[in-house]
Amino acid sequence: MNRPRCGFSLVELAIVLLVASLLVSGLLAPLAAQSESRKIAETQRSLSEARDALLGYALSFGRLPCPARDNATGVEAGGGATACSSGGSGVAVGYLPAATLGLAPSDDQGYLLDAWGGRLRYAVSAGPASARNVFTDSNGMRAYWQTQGGPPPASVQICNGAASITHAGAANADCAAAAALTQSAVAVIYSTGRNAAATAGADAAANRDDDRVFVSHDARSATGVGGGFDDLLLWLPPAILYHHLILAGRLP
């Protein structure tokens, strides 16, 4: 007499486990993509709020804050009657001074964080050679405008790829006009994205070499032109800054 069959064979168990793993992996991929999209949107909101805070600061004090230094606090380093103490000639580079701007969420040292836990970075134009730190001096923009009969020129450049940058890392770094998204931003705020530590790509590395030229474009994989890139940037055009300052009676 045949006994009734109980349980599953090893082959059947293997098939069940394979199907289950495929179902789980199929669910995890969309969830991971949704999570990453939320972090990108959250970081973009933080960048937008930071730009608004910079405008508010300029309206209150007649100048922009200096960047915060690494391994210090989220307070601006320099500013007012003192030159910014971070960065090289033509641009001051460092972290967004969230403690000075009163922004949150920040880490325990007062640096504003992106959605991946990295510190938001910030660079501000130093102005023309004849009027260094004009954007971060108290009423420096107004004094320049009244003396020169026009606004001070800004020097931060945003390029669409590192391949178009000459003299990278130097004070005279430059982006070819055909590849420039702008050649006259007053300031730039940026996140180094999920892959903050991965600087092998030329485009990502261009945003970490402390010169006045930065790269911005859609995210790319490590095999894309310019290497892996997931930085998020937002810059402050002079027209927007001057428009707000004129309306507030800070300029000319």
- What is residue 131's predicted lDDT score, i.e. its pLDDT? 84
Quick check: 249 and 243 in contact, CB under 8 A? no
**Structural domains of the chain, count:** 1
Residue 187 lies in a domain: yes
pLDDT band at 120, cuts 50/70/90?
Answer: very high
- What is residue 56's predicted lDDT score, i.e. its pLDDT? 95
Residue 226's identity, in one-letter code, is G
Residue 72, CB half-sphere, CA atoms under 13 Å: how many?
17
pLDDT band at 129, cuts 50/70/90?
Answer: confident
User: What average pLDDT does the structure give for the chain?
Assistant: 88
Does residue 136 have a pLDDT over 80? yes
Residue 23 lies in a domain: yes
- What is residue 97's predicted lDDT score, i.e. its pLDDT? 95
Residue 235 lies in a domain: yes
**Mean pLDDT score, 47-66:** 95
Q: Could you report the per-residue pLDDT of 157-200, keeping only the tens digit for each?
A: 999 999 999 999 898 999 999 999 999 999 999 999 988 766 66
Residue 217 lies in a domain: yes
**Mean pLDDT score, 18-34:** 68
Query: Residue 17's domain spans which residues?
Result: 10-247
pLDDT band at 87, cuts 50/70/90?
Answer: low
- What is residue 114's predicted lDDT score, i.e. its pLDDT? 93
What are residue 235's DSSP bridge partners? 188
Does residue 62 have a pLDDT over 60? yes
Distances, alpha carbon 252 to alpha carbons 1, 4, 64, 186, 231, in Å:
104, 95, 16, 17, 35
In this structure, which long-range contacts are made by residues 243-249, counting pairs with CB atoms below 8 Å and at least 24 apart in sequence? 244/55, 244/58, 244/59, 245/58, 245/59, 245/62, 245/141, 248/59
**Mean pLDDT score, 22-42:** 76
* Residue pointed to by tokens 């003396």: 147
Does residue 5 have a pLDDT over 60? no
- What is residue 86's predicted lDDT score, i.e. its pLDDT? 67
CA 96 to CA 55: how far, in whole Å?
Answer: 13
pLDDT band at 1, cuts 50/70/90?
Answer: low
Kindly give, in sequence order, each residue whose CB lies less than 8 Å from that of residue 109, ignoring residues fewer than 6 positions away.
72, 73, 74
CA 22 to CA 248: how far, in whole Å?
Answer: 60
Which residues in the chain belong to E strands, given as ranges?
91-95, 121-125, 156-159, 165-166, 174-175, 180-185, 187-191, 213-215, 232-236
For Cα atoms 32, 37, 41, give the angle at the middle one, nearest 5 degrees: 150
pLDDT band at 15, cuts 50/70/90?
Answer: confident
Residue 5 lies in a domain: no
Residue 3 lies in a domain: no
Kindly give, in sequence order, each residue whose CB lies less than 8 Å from that of residue 173, ignoring residues fewer than 6 positions away.
157, 165, 166, 167, 211, 212, 213
Strand-strand pairing, 165-166 and 180-185: unpaired
Q: Could you report the per-residue pLDDT of 210-230, keeping only the tens digit for each?
A: 999 999 999 988 887 888 899
Does residue 7 have a pLDDT over 60? no
CA 196 to CA 7: how far, in whole Å?
Answer: 50
Residue 252 lies in a domain: no
Residue 55 lies in a domain: yes
Q: Is the model more confident about 42 or about 196? A: 42
Largest Cα separation within the chain, whole Å, is 109
- What is residue 107's predicted lDDT score, i.e. its pLDDT? 86
Query: What is the percent of the chain where pLDDT is above 70?
Result: 88
Quick check: 192 and 207 in contact, CB under 8 A? yes
- What is residue 143's predicted lDDT score, i.e. its pLDDT? 93
